[in-house]
C-alpha cells in the first residue's frame, strides 16, 4: 500500500494543528509510522486519502453501529438539514429521542442531552455530588471517562498508549476528591468506603473499552451494588461506549448492575456529537431548571444530531443484530486464537457483544495491571500488517474493536486472512 498523501498531510498538519491531530491516539504514537488520513466511508469500508480501502473495525470508536452512511439514516439527516442547522431552542426531536432512550433503560425516567461523553460524565459527577451532598468519587484504574480534570488520573486508553501517568495542567486540588480502586477488586473499593464517609459516587464502565475489553465478575458487581446501597453511594455507569452495543439498552442490565446515573454517547448520535446523562426522577429533578444543579449548553439537543440519533436507534431496534454480533465476535475470537496458536504467540481475547480485542499476553486480562502485561511491540507489528491487508484497527493495544451490521461474510474472510498474515508477521519478527 502507498501512504504518500497521508504522509504529506501529516507534515502539512504539523503547522496549524497540535501534532497534526485533534485527539492524541490518532497520532499513532504507540504503533509508529504515519497516521492515516481518511477521505470517506461507506458501509463496512473506510477509504484513506491514498485511496486504500479497509474494513473498518474502529467505526469512529463505536457510533457507526449500522456501518457508514446507511441510506435510512442519511435520508433523515438530509431532511433535518433542510429545516435548519441549530436553533438554540428546544425542538420536538429531543423529546422523541429522550423517550426512546428512557424506554430502553429501566433506570432512567429523565435524560439530559449534551454534546459529548466527557460532558455527560462531568455533569453526572456534579449531579451525584448535588444529590448526595458529598464530594468524593471512586474511579477504577484504566477506566477512561473523558478529559474532565477530576477523572484524568489512572485513566486508560490514550494515557496508557502515551505512557502518561496523568496530565499536566490538572492541579492536585482537582483530583484530591478522586479515589482510585482496581477494576474487579471489591476489597479496594471497601477500603475506600471504610476510610471515607463523604463518597458521593462510584463511576465505572460496565464493560471496559479503554484498557481493552474487560468484563467484570458477577461477584464484583453484586457486592459493589450491595455496599454502595448500604452506604448511600450512587453508582454512575459510563455507557458512552457500551450503550446499545450489546443489547437495545445498556450493558448494565446484562451484568445485573443497577446504576443510579447512566452516561451515554456514541451510538445515540449515529455519528454526530451527542452525549447524555439520565437517572430516575428524584435524581434528575436536581438539574436546572427543576433544581439547583446547573448545567447548560447552546448546542445541546442539536436538531441534526437528534434526527440522526432517532433514525439510528429506530433502525437498530428493527434490525436487532445483537445475537449476530455475538456470533461474529465469537468467530473472530476463534480465528485470533487459532492463528496465534499456529504461530506460537501468547494471546488472550476478551469480548462482549459487539466489542472485542486481543491482548498479546500470556496472562488472563481482568484489570488494568494485567492489561499492561501485553506485548505492545507485537501489537505494532500486528497493527501494521492488518492495515497492509485491508483491515482498519484502533492504533492502540488498549482500545476495543467494534463490529457493525454492515459486515459481510466476504468482509469476515478478508479479516480472517489478514489475522493469519499478521500473526505470521509477528512470528517472523519476534519469535525468530
Q: Which three cell numbers stand for residue 288?
A: 436546572
The one catalytic residue among 28, 61, 144, 277: 144
* Cα four-point dihedral sign 65, 66, 71, 75: negative
- Distance, in Å, from the CA atom of 17 to the CA atom of 12, rounded to the nearest integer, reads 9
Please, are residues 198 and 230 in contact by the beta-carbon 8 Å criterion? Answer: no
The catalytic residue among 238, 367, 375, 427 is 238
Catalytic (active site) residue 75: no
Beta carbons of 55 and 391 less than 8 angstroms apart = yes
SS3 category, 172: helix
Catalytic residue among 266, 367, 375, 378: 266
Whole-Å CA distances, 41 to 181, 351, 384, 430 = 40, 25, 20, 34
238 as an active site residue: the answer is yes
Chain centre distance of CA 163 = 19
Q: Which of 384, 3, 376, 392 is nearest to 162 (CA)?
A: 376
Burial 68-86 (b: 16+ CB within 10 A, else e): bebeebeebbeebeeeeee
- First and final CA of the chain: distance in angstroms? 26
- Residues 22, 19: Cα–Cα separation, whole Å: 8
CB 140 within 8 A of CB 181: yes
* Residues sharing a CB contact under 8 Å with residue 373, sequence separation 6 or more, in sequence order: 359, 361, 362, 363, 365
As a whole number of angstroms, the distance between CA 417 and CA 419 comes to: 6
144 is catalytic: yes
Phi, psi of 106 (to 5 degrees): -55, -25
CA distance readout (Å), 99 to 254, 257, 274, 278, 355: 21, 22, 16, 12, 26
Residues 6+ apart with CB under 8 A from 122: 146, 148, 150
Q: Which residues are catalytic?
A: 144, 238, 266
Amino acid at each position: 500500500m502507498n501512504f504518500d498523501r497521508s504522509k504529506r498531510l501529516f507534515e502539512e498538519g504539523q503547522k496549524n494543528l497540535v501534532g497534526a491531530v485533534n485527539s492524541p491516539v490518532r497520532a499513532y504514537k504507540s504503533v509508529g509510522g504515519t497516521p492515516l488520513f481518511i477521505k470517506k466511508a461507506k458501509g463496512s469500508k473506510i477509504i484513506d486519502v491514498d485511496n486504500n480501502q479497509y474494513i473498518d473495525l474502529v467505526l469512529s470508536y463505536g457510533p457507526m453501529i449500522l456501518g457508514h452512511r446507511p441510506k435510512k439514516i442519511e435520508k433523515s439527516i438530509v431532511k433535518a438539514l433542510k429545516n435548519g442547522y441549530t436553533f438554540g431552542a428546544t425542538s420536538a426531536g429531543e423529546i422523541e429521542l429522550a423517550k426512546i432512550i428512557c424506554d430502553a433503560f429501566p433506570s432512567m425516567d429523565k435524560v439530559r442531552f449534551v454534546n459529548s461523553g466527557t460532558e455527560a460524565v462531568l455533569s453526572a459527577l456534579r449531579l451525584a455530588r448535588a444529590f448526595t451532598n458529598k464530594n468524593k468519587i471512586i474511579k477504577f484504574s484504566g477506566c477512561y471517562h473523558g478529559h474532565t480534570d477530576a477523572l484524568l488520573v489512572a485513566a486508560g486508553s490514550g494515557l496508557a498508549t502515551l505512557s502518561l501517568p496523568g496530565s499536566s495542567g490538572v492541579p492536585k486540588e482537582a483530583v484530591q476528591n478522586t479515589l482510585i480502586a482496581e477494576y474487579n477488586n471489591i476489597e479496594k473499593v471497601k477500603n475506600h468506603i471504610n476510610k471515607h464517609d463523604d463518597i458521593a459516587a462510584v463511576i465505572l464502565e460496565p464493560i471496559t473499552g479503554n484498557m481493552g475489553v474487560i468484563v467484570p465478575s458477577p461477584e464484583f458487581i453484586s457486592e459493589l451494588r450491595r455496599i454502595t446501597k448500604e452506604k448511600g453511594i450512587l453508582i454512575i455507569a459510563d455507557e458512552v461506549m457500551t450503550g446499545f452495543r450489546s443489547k437495545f439498552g445498556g450493558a448494565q442490565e446484562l451484568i445485573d448492575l443497577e446504576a443510579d446515573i447512566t452516561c451515554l454517547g456514541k451510538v445515540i448520535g449515529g455519528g454526530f456529537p451527542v452525549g447524555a446523562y439520565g437517572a430516575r426522577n428524584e435524581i434528575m429533578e436536581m438539574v436546572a431548571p427543576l433544581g439547583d444543579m446547573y448545567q447548560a449548553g447552546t448546542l445541546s439537543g442539536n436538531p441534526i444530531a437528534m434526527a440522526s440519533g432517532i433514525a439510528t436507534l429506530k433502525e437498530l431496534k428493527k434490525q436487532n443484530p445483537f445475537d449476530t454480533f455475538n456470533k461474529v465476535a465469537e468467530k473472530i475470537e476463534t480465528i485470533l486464537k487459532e492463528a496465534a496458536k499456529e504461530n506460537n504467540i501468547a494471546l488472550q481475547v476478551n469480548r462482549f457483544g459487539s466489542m472485542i480485542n486481543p491482548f498479546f499476553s500470556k496472562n488472563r486480562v481482568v484489570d488494568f495491571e494485567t492489561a499492561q502485561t501485553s506485548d505492545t511491540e507485537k501489537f505494532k507489528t500486528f497493527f501494521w500488517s492488518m492495515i497492509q491487508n485491508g483491515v482498519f484497527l484502533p492504533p492502540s493495544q488498549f482500545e476495543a474493536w467494534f463490529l457493525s451490521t454492515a459486515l459481510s461474510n466476504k468482509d469476515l474472510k478478508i479479516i480472517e486472512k489478514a489475522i493469519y498474515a499478521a500473526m505470521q508477521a509477528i512470528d517472523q519478527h519476534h519469535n525468530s
